[in-house]
Amino acid sequence: MREAGAGYNSWNAVTSTGDIHIRTYTLCIVGLGNVGAALVALLQRKRHDLADRYGIAFRITGVASRRLGWLVAPEGFTPEKLVAGDFSEAKEANDLADWLHAAKPDALFEASSLNAETGEPAITHIRAALELGAHAISANKGPVLHAYRELTQLAESKGRSFFFESAMMDGAPVFSLFRSALPAIEILGFRGVINSTTTVILEAMQAGKSFDEAIAGAQRLGVAETDPSADIDGIDAAVKVVEVANVLMGASLKLSDVARQGIRGITPAQLRDAQENGEAWRLVSRARRQSDGSIVASVAPERLEIDDPLAQVQGTSLLIAFETDIFKELIISERDPGPEATAYGMLSDFVNAVRSS
């Protein structure tokens, strides 16, 4: 029986035991790189758990990327084939609109590359999916940076959700913690080490590498992009500051409102001197509400006492510490996350979206 108010292809079925109602959702994924592939694998691995605990079944009817184009399998792709890069089951759609109408998603996962200047084309992907009545789940920071309120209001008008846990700390529960577990709390400010590439580079320099050698090492590890400027100049961290301030503190910051200084000016000698004096350099992101209600935000390298939780962040780990009217310092941290952690954030958002709709 079709569920009233559901998306295109949400269907109810009753298992043979008669006590569990299974609802099948059609899913589309934009971006089939490391995160997108990890999401497909995680969905498949969690298939039985999703059905047994939440009554959720799924089929993936659309995948898309710049390399693949717009691929559709209305009856559902075989997840194992997708993970293996086998798209023999696919038909090709002409464009985004054609793809969405053919794949008929109940939920869209957006995992394309970040465009920090405009948030496109991810914003267009999400807007189109919401207009058609699908939930939108994003690992892309751009839509949150440039269109958070627009997309949230559109989702609400359609009775759907726009969630983006993986756009902050690889799926660690930052936004959902406050949305679900901490109602009626006021965030006064936050600080954190929320860009891992700079930590990896600073640690390599502290060990004796030059700045260029440290960047090359981070690139070999797959931590730094071919052009690492978004990380080392603090742009990625500033984007995350805007996200958190706007979503959790009700701010209306733009990227240009964040005072930003990257790590280019930090030298190996400074790092070694800090280490010898029981201190450590980290790229620290901050935002704080002022007495007049405005929010001041910054990203800059700071020399920290070694017992500071931010100084303890190592490798690809991340940490954000919130100051609230109840908790002096509430810390969320994750240790060396990978693509599966980001994929989990998207899976968690999907489960929360369909359970609340």
The enclosing H or E element of 269 equals helix 268-276
Average pLDDT rounded to a whole number, residues 240-251: 97
Burial code (b: 16+ CB inside 10 Å, e: under 16) for 313-333 equals beebbbbbbbbbeeeeebebb
pTM: 0.91
pLDDT, tens digit (0-9, with 9 covering 90-100), for 268-290: 999 999 999 999 999 999 999 99
Of 231, 34, 228, nearest in space to 139 by CA: 34
Question: What one-character DSSP code corresponds to residue 2?
Answer: B
pLDDT at 83: 84
Phi, psi of 231 (to 5 degrees): -80, -55
**Bridge partners of 21?**
14
Please report, rounded to a whole number, the percentage of residues in the chain having pLDDT higher than 90.
89
Which residues participate in catalysis according to the annotation? 240
Q: For residues 8 and 134, what is the distance between their CA atoms, to the nearest angstrom? A: 8
Query: DSSP of 316-349, one letter per residue?
Result: T-EEEEEEESS-S-EEEEESS--HHHHHHHHHHH
Q: Given a cut of 70, is residue 33 above it in pLDDT?
A: yes
The pLDDT confidence band at residue 8, using thresholds 50, 70 and 90, is very low
Q: Given a cut of 70, is residue 15 above it in pLDDT?
A: no
Q: Write out the two tokens for 64.
A: 């898309």
**Bridge partners of 187?**
324
Q: For residues 247 and 271, what is the distance between their CA atoms, to the nearest angstrom? A: 34
Q: For residues 175 and 69, what is the distance between their CA atoms, to the nearest angstrom? A: 32
Q: Write out the two tokens for 7.
A: 């998306």
Q: Given a cut of 50, is residue 2 above it in pLDDT?
A: no
Average pLDDT rounded to a whole number, residues 226-245: 96
pLDDT, tens digit (0-9, with 9 covering 90-100), for 110-144: 999 989 899 999 999 999 999 999 999 999 999 99
pLDDT at 17: 40
Q: For residues 345 and 347, what is the distance between their CA atoms, to the nearest angstrom? A: 5
Average pLDDT rounded to a whole number, residues 185-208: 96
Domain range summary for the chain, segments of one domain joined by +: 11-171+340-356, 187-336
Q: How far is CA 323 from CA 122, 320, 332, in A?
A: 32, 10, 12
Averaged confidence pLDDT in the chain: 93
Question: What one-character DSSP code corresponds to residue 3?
Answer: P
Q: Given a cut of 70, is residue 4 above it in pLDDT?
A: no
Q: Given a cut of 90, is residue 353 above it in pLDDT?
A: yes
Q: Say if residues 113 and 65 touch (Cβ distance below 8 Å).
A: no
Helix-helix angle 211-220:196-206, to 10 degrees? 130
Q: Given a cut of 90, is residue 259 above it in pLDDT?
A: yes
Q: Which CATH class is domain 187-336?
A: alpha beta
The pLDDT confidence band at residue 357, using thresholds 50, 70 and 90, is confident
- Report the CATH superfamily, name and number, of domain 11-171+340-356: NAD(P)-binding Rossmann-like Domain (3.40.50.720)
Phi, psi of 45 (to 5 degrees): -65, -35
3-state DSSP call for residue 50? helix
Q: For residues 332 and 173, what is the distance between their CA atoms, to the nearest angstrom? A: 8
Q: Given the structure tokens 């298992």, which residue do they identify? A: 15
Q: Write out the two tokens for 219.
A: 């690139």
Q: Write out the two tokens for 44.
A: 């498949």
Alpha helices of 13-158 — where are they, by DSSP H?
34-45, 47-54, 79-83, 96-103, 122-131, 141-157
Q: Write out the two tokens for 127.
A: 């807007």
Residues 6+ apart with CB under 8 A from 236: 116, 141, 195, 197, 230
Q: Write out the two tokens for 72.
A: 């559709």
Of 143, 159, 154, nearest in space to 110 by CA: 143
